[in-house]
Each structure stands twice: as C-alpha cells, then as structure tokens.
Structure 1
Amino acid sequence: KHYLCGYCAAFTNIAVTFPIQKVLFRQQLYGLKTKDAVHQLQKDGIRNLYRGILPPLMQKTTTLALMFGLYEDFSSLLHSHTSAPELLTRSMAAVLAGTTEALLTPFERVQTLLQDYKHHEKFTNTYQAFKVLKVYGIREYYRGLVPILLRNGSSNILFFGLRGPIKQCLPEATSYSAHLVNDFICGGLLGAMLGSLFFPMNVVKARMQSQIGGEFQSFSKVFVTIWLERDKKLMHLFRGAHLNYHRSVLSWGIINATYEFLLKLL
C-alpha cells in the first residue's frame, strides 16, 4: 500500500511541476537568472518543454514508491529485530531507503543530459541517451552518485523525522479537506526547507552529471570549480534557489497530500 501511494503521489507531482523543474535545472547548471532560463526554454519551443520527462517519471515514481514503502518496511524490520531507540531505528530506516533509491541514479543521470540544451543534438530521447552512456560502461550511469547518496540519506532522515511534529503543530483537522490542507502544508514546509538546504549539493550533482566521459572528479573538486566560476559568492551558488523553494513547496505539498490521501483511501 505504501509503495502504491508513493508511486501515485510522485506521478501527480511530476506531471504538474516538470516545466518548473526544467527552468530550475538550467539555473543550477549554468547559473542563469530566472528570466534567462525561461527565455532559453521558450527558444527550445513547446515540443521540447516536456522533453526528458520520461526518466524523472520513471525514476521519481519508483524512488518515491521505494522511499515511502522501504521506510515503512525497514522501520518495522529494525523495530522488531533490535532494541534500539525508535528515533535511531527510524533514522536508520530512512538512510537505508535513501541508499536503495540511489540505485536508480541512471534515470537521474539521463534526465540531466536530456534537459541540458548542449546535448540536444546528441540524442533525442531516453533510449538514445542510455545507449550513448553504455559505451562508457556501467560506472558512467552512476556519475554523481556521491551527492545523491548524501542528499537522499540526510533528507530522508529529516523528512520522516519532522513530518509528524510539524503536522502536530498545525490546527487540528476535523475533515478530509482539512487533513488534505494540513498534509499539503506539512509536505510543502519540509520540501522548501530540504530543497534549500540541499540546493548546493544538487548544483554540484547537475554539473557532475552533465559530463559524458572523461575524468570522474570528486564532489569537493567540482564544488570548488563551481565556487570559483561563480565568483566565490554564495548568492551565485544559490541561483535558482528561490524558484526551487516555490517548486519544492508545490512538489512536496502535492506528494505528501496525495500520499496521505491515498493511504486513507486504500
């Protein structure tokens, strides 16, 4: 049940927020201002607006199904087999779920390539992108794995750990619609917080994954390169963060509300 609810929540979210994500991605990768990133998408045309949606659709639906489902499964498993405090077992379950999600890095990798206009001429669809990467070996599919592992584990701990307490702080819901609103607010607040917190990590990940072939640079090396390119200014590193903030509010609001709604429904 948790797997199915997570899957459906992710599908709804991707369908609604993909164009926003695309603008954000361009900002992360090239340090563009919002209007420039939007202008770039306008130049690409309406046909390319949803270009690259298949990998995130496949990846996000599966990862969120795994995130919610495995978290519940690992929590139950650890709770029944260890005498550790609940906070520890739930944190461990969140990390394990996040680590398992990282197996689907190739989809995130291909999404990055398809969204980067510099690669528009190299391949036109997901299959072609996978085919191009195949030449470089399995390791190429997992370029950018380190920031993904760091992001997944940490964000899962915070998401599952704070979801309950935040909801308890909200006014008590007495109807389905009130529950839906509370779940949206709860998910949105968490999404905005985590999205902002891990934004620089995603900037580094985008840069790492936009490369095809060549040296596998370390996380720190890529970070330093970007830091120098952006004049050692934190504001430049966080270009696109405001859009990411709004997208995260919407995305995680939709995800959390849809997930909880379906959980009650099924």
Structure 2
Amino acid sequence: MAGSLKPKQDEEGCRDQMVRSNTFFHGGISSLLSTLITFPIYKTVFRQQIHNAGVSEAVRQLYSEGHVKLYRGVVSPLLMKTLSNTLLFGLQDTILRQLTPSSQNLISPSALPALAGLGAGMVEAVVCTPLERVQSVLQNGKNDRHLPTHKSILVRLNAQKRSSGYYRGLLPITARNALGSFIYFGLQEPLKDALEGRGLSPVVSPFISGMLTSMVISLPLYPLTVLAANMQKQVGGEDKGVMASWKKLWESRQRSVALLYRGGSLVVLRSCMSWGMITAIYDMQKKNSG
C-alpha cells in the first residue's frame, strides 16, 4: 500500500514543481511582448519626467533624434521588465503556496494573494533596481555624449559606491513596487471574476481587469516613479538622500501637483495597455498549461 502511494506522491510533486516553474516562465513571456509594443510610449513618458516637458516637446525630442534612436535603451527595460515580471509572478505564486497552509484561521484567504504580492514586489525591487538605474541613465538624452553605451555606463557605475551607483533610488522603487504588487494581486483576480460574471468572455475579462487595476495603481504611485527617475538619471554629482531629492524635485516643479504629474496621462495609458496585455497573456498561458 505504502509502495503504491509513493509513485503517486512523486507524480504530484513533479506536477506541482512544473506548475511553479510555469508561473515564472509565463510572467516573463507576458512582459517581454508587452514591453516591445509599449516602449515608444514609455520613452516619451520618461522624457517628460526628467526634462519637465509636455507631450509635444517630448515627442519632438525623440523625432529629432531619428527613428534609429527610438529604441535606444530598449535592452535594459526589456531585460528589466522580463526579469521583473518573471520574479513577480513566480515569487508571488511561491509565497502564496507557502502562506496558504500556515495561515489558516489567522489571515483571510482573500488577503493572501495581496500579501504574497507585497513580498514578491520587495524582492523584485532589490533585484531589478540596478537594471532600472542603467535604463534611466541611458534614456536621459543629456548623457548621449559622455555616456553613450551600456559599457560606458557600467564602467562609471562600478566606480561608485553601491548606494550612489547601482542602488541609487532603491527606497522609492521598493515602496512603489511593493505597494503596486500588493494592489495588483489583491484586485486583479476579483475584478476578473466580477467581469466574467457580467458576461464578458474569458479572453476580454483579464485584459480589462489588468487595465483597471493598473489605473488604480499608476496614479497614486506616479510621484514615486518620477522621484526614482530623477534620482537615477545621472551618474556622479551631489549624492542627495530621498528627502533632499524629493524637496529638489518639488521645487523644480514649482510646488505644483499638476507639473509633478506631467506625463501622468501617458503613464496611465502605457500602464493600462501593458498590464492589460500582461494579465491577458499570462491568464491565457496559465489556462493552456493547465
């Protein structure tokens, strides 16, 4: 009897391990596709954030640089977003599986996905901040002459302390990623189920739920994104802390919330499109692998 149970247990263990591996893979593929499609919007938003420019001015800058440079810097966000969401979806699923049996009668089951997302977002931030740092330096047009390539940026960053080099802006990035993941995994599935309950197809409902969840996340957390981009946009110079950097940013925006949110409309558009696609592609892969 015991001998007959062991193969079944081994088979279930292998199947469970495969499901866990699939969540990492599905998260990466979903992000890879969405990043390639939405990168021009992302680059326009980034220029608005660091140059305090309007949409037309940001587009004019990119147009004057030519179509060859439009995808300059795409390697970093492509690697970062793919790695980021590989970790995010995979770790969230792994943490959730660990929390579920150990938290019975302590935490509401409906809160567990959000808590697992919080933990996954914190780990993701620590791993991906160096990639975001390189990306920010690359996409700042003012660095084109003295830091034109990935190699030149890496050489400069290697010469810096980690806190002012690769991990510049870690605190706002961690806060943004952890809170964003908490909200995303807390809302996405209930929203999808509610939309399906209203008659939307299983293909459309995850896309719309991803868009709506992203909208809820993007607007309140946008100032953290602007702060991180401005902290990371150059190498060297005065090494300001988070509060000093925020004060400088707030002054540069003339103490205006409207100017602080410059580029916010495109951020919401890009984020909605990106997370709608990520959620839909991930959900489709998950169903097909099941």
Question: If the length of structure 1 is used for normalisation, what is the TM-score?
Answer: 0.94
Counterpart contact for 1:99–1:153, Cα < 8 Å: yes
Aligned to 2:186: 161
Structure 1 stretch displaced more, 81-90 or 203-212 = 81-90
Q: Which residue of 2 aligns with 1:105?
A: 129
Q: Which amino acid aligns with 2:46?
A: F
Give the one of 21, 36, 58 matched to 1:15.
36
Give the deviation of 1:88 after TM superposition: 5.0
Q: Deviations over 1:123-160 (max 9, x none)?
A: 33323322221111333101000011000111111000
Tell me which amino acid in the other structure corresponds to 2:37.
V
The answer on whether the counterparts of 1:188 and 1:249 sit within 8 Å (CA) in structure 2 is yes
Whether the aligned pair in 2 keeps the contact of 1:106 and 1:142 (CA below 8 Å) is yes
C-alpha distance in 1, partners of 2:255/2:147? Answer: 34
TM-score norm. by structure 2 comes to: 0.86
RCO (CA 8 Å, sep 6+): is it higher in 1 or 2?
1
**Percent of residue pairs bearing the same amino acid type:** 33
Alignment of 1:82-97 (within 5 A): 82-83=103-104, 84-85=106-107, 86-97=109-120
- The residue type equivalent to 1:170 in the other structure is L
How do 1:28-43 residues align onto structure 2 when only pairs under 5 Å count? 28-43=49-64
Tell whether 2:154 aligns with 1:130: yes
Match of 1:219 among 218, 242, 246: 242
RMSD: 1.6
Does residue 193 of structure 1 match 2:216? yes
Give the distance between the partners of 2:237 and 2:213, measured in 1 at CA: 37
Give 1:91 shift: 3.4
Answering whether residue 138 of structure 2 is matched by residue 114 of structure 1, we say yes
* Partner residue, 1:146: 171
Checking the alignment, whether the CA contact within 8 Å between 1:55 and 1:110 is kept in structure 2 is: yes
- Alignment check: 8 A CA contact 1:54 1:126 kept: no
Is the radius of gyration larger for structure 1 or structure 2? Answer: 2
**Distance (Å, rounded) in 1 between the aligned partners of 2:182 and 2:215:** 15
Q: Which runs of 5+ in 1 are unaligned?
A: none
Distance 1:92 1:170, change over 3 A: closer
Q: How many Å separate the matches in 2 of 1:173 and 1:231?
A: 46
- Report SS of the residue matched to 2:53: coil
What is the CA-CA distance between 1:87 and the residue it aligns to? 4.6
Task: For 1:252, give the aligned amino acid.
Answer: W
Moved more, 214-223 or 157-166: 214-223
Greater shift after overlay, 220-229 or 61-70?
220-229
Task: State the partner residue of 1:73.
Answer: 94
